Amino acid sequence: MDDMEKWPEIEKVAKEKRRELVLQGPGVDTRINSHGGLTSSIYSLTLLNYLEVSQCPSLTQIHEDIQRLTNLQSLILCRNKLSSFPSVIGKLKSLKVLDLSVNNLTVLPEGIEHLGELNTLNVSCNSLDVLPEGLSQCTKLSTINISKNNISAFPASFYSERLDLLSSLEASDNCIQELSEDVHKLAALKMLDLSNNKLREIPSGLSNCPKLKEINFKGNKLSDKRLEKMVNGCQTKSILEYLRGKGRQGEDGGDADGGRNADKKKRQQQRKKKNEKTADEAEEVEEVNKMVVRILHISDASTALTVKVTPEVKDVRPYLVCCVVRGMHLKPGNSLKRFLMAQTKLHDDLCGKRTTATIAVHDVQLLKAPLVYDVKPPTQLKIVPLGRKEMTAVELVRHLHLEAEELRRQKKRQNVTGLHKYLQLLQGKTLYPCLVDAEGHVISFPPITNSEKTKIKKTTKELFLEVTSAASLQTCKDVMDALIVKMAELNKFTAEHQEEAGSDGEGNGPTEPVTSSDTSSELIVEQVRTVDQDGNLKVVYPSKTDLSTDASNVTVVW
């Protein structure tokens, strides 16, 4: 592994003693291909606690020298072509997050059971046949994603009290044939996804998982056809009640051989009737009654958006978080209008009339990536403001001041409305913040306006959400959390009411009728990274610590 050339990213990390390194994309892949692998100098960065090498098809193996990176807490090696991983992984005792998704692995690396601090494991989209017995020794695991592999069964040791912190298990699109009754030993389990497997039964013991909030068994050919119908259209609570009823029936059946008195028979009949009633009622509960926010990790997205942040924003409006949302229904009735009103209310309340933070929403299909968060002098910042023609920021501010004065004269009052009331937020600024697309067009000018070029409409399918603030990064996250929860609530309302009448808000007459097959209340939130000019990660939203909402009617699926 002789280094023929220096890698600037590695040199910079070494020189500045940084603890994070991100290598991704075609440029890095070309270097990996010419070197026959990663440069050996990467393994000398012993201070690293975060290492990501992703989207590099030429990366097929990792050298054993990785054991030198003993301070690593997160190792992200997704969307490469790794066919194996050295067993020395067990020496990375500090590792908490391991992402080997979207590779060519057929087995998990030996030694993985020695990762005592591991809490997140993502090995989705590989060619795994089995899981190691020793996985249960990783007693701090809270999130496991093994979706899209060839796994046919969980090891017996998996159903163990040792995994008492496991809260999320994603195992969709495998060949799993059986789920043990001992699944109830996974006491912390909140989310279980076993969709598109080969299950014939769902054990009644699943109903004894005390914290279970979200399950997905769609795509399995269950022998209990009533239950199969329920998993395709009912809430988790109803399914668990049905399973609990089946479990009670099974217990009663065990007493039958010893004989039972008339009272016991009567109780059994009452339970059976109650259980049938529960099932019948549950069948009537449509999928739209869910309020689910499902998180799509960057490693699972083929065209993940990234926003580059320039150093100059630090002194103007430094904090930014973004994400992409799919599944938001804006077409039926007044749903778009309700969404815009909700955004305005958040601006007025949580955002402190935009003094604390500002929200901007764009149509993903109208974005020209990559995006850059930058600053410009007022005379050079050109934008097509919502509902206006293109102008510079200076011209826009002047127009808004004149409009505000005219409104005061007409209405004979001091208060102003609309964009005019935010003008004071620009006072004293020599540079204005802006989000710029790949063609150099300003698509957002916080805290004043978005661009007409990326305006959302009723036909918008994917939304790009942006929250900026001069206060703190956590402020941005809190506002984004609140926005997504509100979107989930609005989506649920739209899905339930399925409005068929009302203007489309753009003067195009009434909308077409919406059927139940057109609307689901589930939102898909795709992570977006913001990076500095050198590609080093600044923030990713949502992360595991985000969207930890207290809203009882919202389930977040990681």
Residue type, 239: I
Nearest residue to 228 via CA among 283, 268, 308: 283
Q: Are strands 358-363 and 97-99 parallel, antiparallel or unpaired?
A: unpaired
Average the pLDDT over 533-555 and give the result: 74
- By the 8 A CB rule, do 138 and 118 touch? yes
Residue 133 in tokens: 């017995």
- By the 8 A CB rule, do 392 and 381 touch? yes
pLDDT reported for residue 462: 92
Lowest mean pLDDT among 36-40, 348-352, 422-426: 422-426
User: Does 16 have pLDDT greater than 60?
Assistant: yes
- The CATH number, out of the four listed (3.40.50.300, 3.50.40.10, 1.10.10.10, 1.10.760.10), of the domain defined by the range 292-376+433-557: 3.50.40.10
- Note the pLDDT tens digit of each residue in 488-510: 888 888 877 654 434 343 434 44
Phi, psi of 376 (to 5 degrees): -140, 150
Residue 203 in tokens: 């054990």
Average the pLDDT over 338-353 and give the result: 88
- By the 8 A CB rule, do 469 and 476 touch? yes
Averaged pLDDT of the chain: 81
3-state secondary structure 209-239: CCCCCEEECCCCCCCCHHHHHHHCCCCHHHH
Nearest residue to 336 via CA among 461, 178, 443: 461
Nearest residue to 37 via CA among 80, 70, 8: 80
Nearest residue to 456 via CA among 446, 440, 447, 444: 444
Q: Is the peptide bond before 447 cis (omega within 30 degrees of 0)?
A: yes
User: Does 258 have pLDDT greater than 90?
Assistant: no
Residue 30 in tokens: 């070309």
- pTM, two decimals, is 0.52
Nearest residue to 247 via CA among 272, 225, 229, 270: 272
Which of 553 and 222 is assigned the larger pLDDT?
222
Residues shown for the chain: 558
Output the DSSP codes for 351-391: TTTTTS-EEEEEEGGG--SSEEEEEE-TTT-EE-BTTS--E
In Å, how far are 346, 375, 399 from 449, measured between CA atoms? Answer: 15, 15, 13
Output the DSSP codes for 485-539: HHHHHHHHHHHHH----SB-SSSS-BPPP--TTT----EEEEEEEEE-TTS-EEE
| CATH number 3.30.450.40 is the correct assignment for the domain at 1-127 | no
- By the 8 A CB rule, do 124 and 150 touch? no
Helix (H) / strand (E) element for 277: namely: helix 262-283
User: Does 113 have pLDDT greater than 50?
Assistant: yes
Which of 106 and 545 is assigned the larger pLDDT?
106
- Percent of the chain scoring above 70 in pLDDT: 78
Residue 338 in tokens: 């309700």
Which of 363 and 471 is assigned the larger pLDDT?
363
- By the 8 A CB rule, do 260 and 267 touch? no
Average the pLDDT over 150-168 and give the result: 89
- Note the pLDDT tens digit of each residue in 187-198: 899 889 999 999
Nearest residue to 42 via CA among 16, 8, 74, 78: 8
CA distance 119 to 391: 51
Residue 241 in tokens: 């009640």
User: Does 419 have pLDDT greater than 60?
Assistant: no
Average the pLDDT over 121-149 and give the result: 92
CA distance 278 to 111: 47
pLDDT reported for residue 64: 93
Average the pLDDT over 288-297 and give the result: 57
pLDDT reported for residue 556: 64
- Note the pLDDT tens digit of each residue in 160-197: 888 889 999 999 999 999 999 999 899 899 889 999 99
Residue type, 137: Q
Longest dimension (CA), the chain: 92
- Which contacts qualify for 499-508: CB closer than 8 Å, 24 or more apart? 499/332, 499/333, 499/334, 499/335, 500/332, 500/333, 501/333, 502/333, 502/334, 504/331, 504/336, 504/458, 505/334, 505/336, 505/337, 505/458, 506/457, 506/458
Query: Cα–chain-centroid distance for residue 219?
Result: 23
CA distance 51 to 92: 12
Which positions ≥6 away from 547 have C-beta within 8 Å? 293, 295, 481, 484, 485, 525, 556
- Note the pLDDT tens digit of each residue in 422-480: 556 666 678 999 999 999 999 999 888 889 999 999 999 999 999 999 888 888 998 99
Which positions ≥6 away from 89 have C-beta within 8 Å? 66, 67, 95, 98, 109, 111, 112, 115
Can you tell me whether residue 256 is helix, strand or coil?
helix
Q: Cβ–Cβ contacts within 10 Å for residue 137, how many? A: 18
Q: Is the alpha carbon torsion for 527, 532, 536, 539 positive or negative? A: negative
- Domain locations in the chain? 1-127, 292-376+433-557
